[in-house]
Homo-oligomer: A and B are copies of this chain.
Amino acid sequence: MNIILLGGTGSIGSMSLDLIRDYKYNLLGVSLGTNLDRSIEIVKEFKPTYICVRKASDKALFSGLCENIFIGDEGLKELAKIKCDILLNALSGSIGLIPTIEAINAKNDIALANKESLVMAGDIIMKLAKKNNVNIYPVDSEHSAIWQAIKGEDYNTINKLYITASGGAFRDKKRNELENVTVNEALNHPNWSMGKKITIDSATMMNKGLEVIEAHHLFNIPYKNIVPVLHKESVIHALVSFNDSNIKAILAPHDMKLPILYALNRGSRINYENKLNLTTLHFKKMSFKRFPLLKYAIDAGKKGGIMPTVLTSSNEAAVKLFLDGKIKILDIETIVYNELSNTKNFKPTIDDIIRVDKEIRERILGGK
């Protein structure tokens, strides 16, 4: 299997490389981040035909290691266009959007870990994928679970999708206890080890809101039939209820390698051992009052147009401010709320999306 991996030095990227090694897949191309030592290690071990580095000045480090070196955002576009069996987009943030579009135009099937592609431009991307006969396979554990649960089922019998949320670092805290939480406290996720941005998004429940929007696009299910539920143990990743009142749930260990492997293999099951202990399972109803970002996200998804872009761009910038110690965690909600409130919705092109994303970031991050 020839794989192009966008985001090779990130958290999902690192697990993907483990799988590529273990299953003897071929890393045809990889994009690398700011960790240059790790980047060199990757190129030495996997000998990809193509790489993409962040800056022109990084290029020299890889001379003799790889002959085809792309650079920066333009390079990501070039890399995404190279014909492969599957392109795994594990970029974090809105930088992942354009490479997804390029991959679809080049008729590369996509294993999609980049949430922003679908949140910001789900309508455009799903339409484009259909037109180009390109498959988009989810890598998120929740969406992988939904994908598995509807395998073999008639689409018309699907009633509701339930997406579970562990509740993140502050699930046992009340809202008024969140005022002065520290960055380190927020990064201490009880169940999953992930990148920083997504860990904060889990604590604020924005992550679940983004996942609702993703699920809407991936599975073509109306928002009113996508229900987030609190489930501390993260044993069940998603549930699908059907018109005959049966419910199918997918349980799996806390291990992103499962959904990555499943996506790389287009929904075929490949031997992989990580035993789940069938322990205590709990469900709780989700409170929008406790987790307003979840409500903002779902509302933005329902409105569609430019609103999901405003949502994710303002959130991404606000999370950065929080991680940098410049704002408090509840300020994220305020920032996102204000951006959404101040936006007049419209139906955007990809260029509009890119422009608005940039404007919002500059507005929020500019002065800080």
Contact = CB atoms under 8 A, between A and B. Distances in A.
A173 B5 CA distance: 56
Interface string A225-253: 00001000000100101111111111111
A249 B246 contact: no
Interface stretch (A39-47, A103-111, A270-278, A298-306): A270-278
A313 interface: no
A273 B245 contact: yes
A114 interface: no
A258 to B, nearest CB: 6
A86 interface: no
B243 A271 contact: yes
Nearest to A276: B247
A71 interface: no
Contacts of A270: 243-244
Contacts of A258: 244-246
Contacts of A57: none
- How many copies of this kind of chain does the complex include? 2
A252 B247 contact: yes
Interface string A137-181: 000000001001101111001000010000000000000000000
Contacts of A162: 278
A239 B239 CA distance: 13
Contacts of A269: 153-154, 157, 242-244, 246
Interface string A244-288: 111111111101001001100000111111111011111100000
B276 A283 contact: no
A266 to B, nearest CB: 13
Contacts of A148: 246, 248
B262 A244 contact: yes
A229 B145 CA distance: 23
A288 to B, nearest CB: 18
B248 A149 contact: yes
Contacts of A245: 252-253, 255, 258, 272-276
B282 A280 contact: yes
Nearest to A241: B276
Contacts of A273: 245
Contacts of A282: 280-281
Contacts of A244: 258, 261-262, 269-272
A236 to B, nearest CB: 7
Interface of A: 145, 148-149, 151-154, 157, 162, 229, 236, 239, 241-253, 255, 258, 261-262, 268-276, 278-283
21 contacts: A149-B248, A151-B152, A153-B269, A154-B268, A154-B269, A241-B276, A242-B269, A244-B258, A244-B261, A245-B253, A245-B255, A245-B274, A245-B276, A247-B250, A247-B251, A247-B252, A248-B251, A278-B283, A280-B281, A281-B281, A281-B283
